[in-house]
Structure 1
Amino acid sequence: MRHLHPRTAARRGLSAPIAYVLTAILSLIWLPAGAEGTQRLDAYLKGLTSLEADFAQFTFNADRTRMMEGRGTFYLQRPGRFRWQYETPGKQVIIADGKRVYLHDLELDQVSHQSEEKALRGTPALLLANNDPIDRHFTAKPIDSTDGREWVELTPKAADTDVIRIELGFGDTGIESMIMEDSFGQTTRLNFTEIKRNPSLDAALFEVDEKAGGDFLSFD
């Protein structure tokens, strides 16, 4: 996921950042510790209504120079609502309320938004909105470990997605790391901690007050 300046987001729309955010969320939801491919998916999804986790994100360009380091918290409420909240390097929030996706830069007091259908088109995030089996959209296989964790690789089957490869690392407490490679040569690593399954979440986490002031930029 790229941390885009709003002018860049305005030129490109919201699809790129949303693709990375929801790929991360979907991966965290769907593959429990010890999974080989997707055989434990149904058991893990049964009864899952919400998630909360802290994250640390490190993004590198094609020559492996670090471009960004970010930290924050994400919240998920099924179906279709999430909040991806950055505390560093700048306060920024990405919210989906079930109908629209909002990218809110708190420091610039600016919100960019799109319909979920448009924002998620052509990305693995589309799976959040339907009940398709994961193997319809991804090829999943276990890969060799060099750090004692169990690793699974996901390769999107669609040709029109920015994300071309995802690696998920599972430890004793569940998913601990995710590495994503995109079609621009960038690599993003996400480390997850303090994962909570089915916490009680305030509905206000998934709301954006359009009357609160600032600029609202629509890409529909």
Structure 2
Amino acid sequence: MKTQTDFAPTRRQVLGLGLVLAGAAAINVVPGFQLLAQAQAAVPPAAQKIADHFSSVKSMSGEFVQFGPKGEQTGGKFFLERPGKIRFNYDGSSNFRVISDGKSVVILNKKLNTSDLYPLSKTPLKLLLDDRIDLSGGRVKAVKEEDDLTTIQLSDKSVFGNARITMMFDPKSYELRQWTITDAQGKDTTVMIFNVKEGVSIPDDTFAIDYTANRELNTKTR
């Protein structure tokens, strides 16, 4: 297994942070979850309390560790600000950056001189970064309540096709601990966060995307 110090994530592995695009596989619910009927109107109380708390956190920063489908491991620091803004600074020589400015998400690899742009509205990150976490419309597929974790599984075909996001929260503080993105091929990428600080002040340029540079770079490389 590669370690944090020598693993440089590929574009596909970086997508596990929340840039899963539409696919053709069916949704598979994790065993042990309480299944929710598609037409069920009421959101489970535990899920709603967590969503309300998480929505109230307007900014946070901390560290993350990411585990890829084959056990690949890397990490770095992240910054989040609602609505729609997040930044992941990966450790290592690849100098990976994933940045959302509220409209788009860009994946930057300065070592390879690449810049890939995606609409935020078509990624699972949108569900994490909305001003209000919306659990209506059958998005909640399953809920599992344990003494040390409350796990919520979400899916929204209009946002990211047949992929799904599974989020794990502390049942007492309602704080987010980790999430797993399962792509349309059934491959998992998990992100764990720690040393998290809430209500932090983050400079606006942290989430800036240079659209001109992105356009020029991709024009040159065609």
TM-score, with structure 2 as normaliser: 0.65
Check the 8 A contact 2:170/2:176 in 1, yes or no: yes
- Tell me the distance in 2 between the aligned counterparts of 1:72 and 1:125: 18
User: Which residue in 1 is equivalent to 2:28?
Assistant: none
User: Which residue in 1 is equivalent to 2:153?
Assistant: 154
Which of 79, 84, 93 is matched with 2:88 structurally?
84
Give CA deviations for 1:146-190 in whole Å, capped at 9, x if unaligned.
xx5223131314275252351414276633233332221211222
- Residue 38 of structure 1 aligns to a residue whose secondary structure is helix
Check the 8 A contact 1:56/1:72 in 2, yes or no: yes
Check the 8 A contact 1:19/1:124 in 2, yes or no: yes
- Tell me the distance in 1 between the aligned counterparts of 2:53 and 2:215: 44
Check the 8 A contact 2:166/2:179 in 1, yes or no: yes
Runs of 5+ unmatched residues, structure 2: 1-8, 21-44
- Residue 36 of structure 1 aligns to a residue whose secondary structure is helix
- Tell me the distance in 2 between the aligned counterparts of 1:137 and 1:167: 16
Structure with higher RCO (Cα < 8 A, 6+ apart)? 2
- 2:166 matches 1:166: yes
- 2:110 matches 1:106: yes
Give CA deviations for 1:107-155 in whole Å, capped at 9, x if unaligned.
12322224x3xx532x43444457572233521543254xx52231313
Check the 8 A contact 2:169/2:177 in 1, yes or no: yes
Instruction: Write the mapping of 1:57-136 to structure 2, written as runs, cut at 5 A.
Output: 57-60=66-69, 65-66=70-71, 68-88=72-92, 90-114=94-118, 116=119, 119-121=120-122, 123-127=123-127, 128-129=129-130, 131=132, 133-136=134-137
What is the Cα deviation at residue 210 of structure 1? 5.7
- Tell me the distance in 1 between the aligned counterparts of 2:108 and 2:150: 33
- 2:184 matches 1:183: yes
- Tell me the distance in 1 between the aligned counterparts of 2:96 and 2:139: 30
User: Which residue in 1 is equivalent to 2:39?
Assistant: none
Check the 8 A contact 1:19/1:120 in 2, yes or no: no
What is the aligned-residue identity percentage? 17
Check the 8 A contact 2:67/2:74 in 1, yes or no: yes
Partner AA of 1:166 in structure 2: T
- Tell me the distance in 2 between the aligned counterparts of 1:137 and 1:172: 25
Give CA deviations for 1:40-84 in whole Å, capped at 9, x if unaligned.
4335533x3211121101112xxxx42x21101111122222212
Name the structure with the higher strand share: 1
CA separation of 1:130 and 1:203: change in aligned 2, threshold 3 A: closer
- Residue 136 of structure 1 aligns to a residue whose secondary structure is coil
What is the root-mean-square deviation in Å for CA atoms of aligned residues?
Answer: 3.6
- Tell me the distance in 1 between the aligned counterparts of 2:177 and 2:132: 25
User: Which residue in 2 is equivalent to 1:37?
Assistant: 47
What is the Cα deviation at residue 206 of structure 1? 1.0
User: Which residue in 2 is equivalent to 1:54?
Assistant: 63
TM-score, with structure 1 as normaliser: 0.66
Give the count of matched residue pairs: 185
Partner AA of 2:179 in structure 1: M
